[in-house]
Amino acid sequence: VRECGAKVGTSIEITNLFGNTPARRKFLRTARTEIAHIDEAVRNCALARPDVFFSLHIDGRQTLRLDRETTMERRLAQLLNYHDEMIAIDSGPPGPDGITVRGLLIPPEAAPPNSGRLRLLVNGRSIRDRLLTHAVGEGLRSFLLKGRFPAGVIDVTLPPAEVDVNVHPAKQEVRFRDSRTVHHLVSQAVRDGMLGHQQHLRRELFHAPQAPAAQTGPA
């Protein structure tokens, strides 16, 4: 081990991961599946921090490059490979409970036919949560066609004392102190965003240009 110069940033290199704990290797799935898990973990970190550049190399080949972005929308566009307008989700300023819900969703008419493209953040931490997934689905009820699934990101911010982040060994799940309120706020914010999107479409489709005023004098 010796010191050497390096670029600014964090580099993580893993070799001989199971050299001292070979018993855990038998619980791994195929290399393709495990690489997919690694890719997903990097994507989730990148979504939580769009201001950070991420590059993933596997077996000497760059498989993912995410340039530093100034907005969540641009980072999400990179991750989902979707570059059209997205629907902004915003519950407004925090209320007495201190909870805010913000995010971006692909419009229902462009929603993908497969699940797994909805990403959830709680206080900047990427998680998997059935409560939040269900809340998003409730907010999209009557907007999303059958066989289509929500895609985008929902970011919930709330006081740390209102959420337990230590209920899962890998910190991939959380437990809310007031899950009913969180569910309601998320579903309501998503529904409001969808209604706003519908109003925007109506204006785009049915707004006729104003006719010029009739001339009263000589031509």
Strand order across the beta sheet in which 87-90 lies:
87-90, 100-105, 152-157, 118-122, 125-127
Bridge partners (DSSP) of residue 126 are: 121
Print pLDDT tens along the chain (219 aa).
788 888 888 888 877 777 676 667 777 788 889 899 899 999 999 999 999 999 999 888 999 999 998 889 999 998 988 989 899 999 999 888 899 999 999 999 899 998 889 999 999 999 999 999 999 999 999 999 889 999 999 999 999 999 999 888 878 889 999 999 999 999 999 999 999 988 888 888 886 455 455 454 454
> Residue 175: beta bridge partners?
164
- pTM attached to this predicted model: 0.80
User: What end-to-end distance do the CA atoms of the chain give, in Å?
Assistant: 90
**pLDDT for 201:** 83
User: Quick check: 190 and 136 in contact, CB under 8 A?
Assistant: yes
Q: Where are the beta strands (DSSP E) in 130-179?
A: 152-157, 163-164, 175-176
Tell me, what's the pLDDT at 135?
A: 96
pLDDT in tens, 149-192: 999 999 999 999 999 998 888 788 899 999 999 999 999 999 99
Residue 40 token pair: 């997903």
Buried b or exposed e, range 172-191, using 16+ CB within 10 angstroms: ebbebeeeeebbebbbebbb
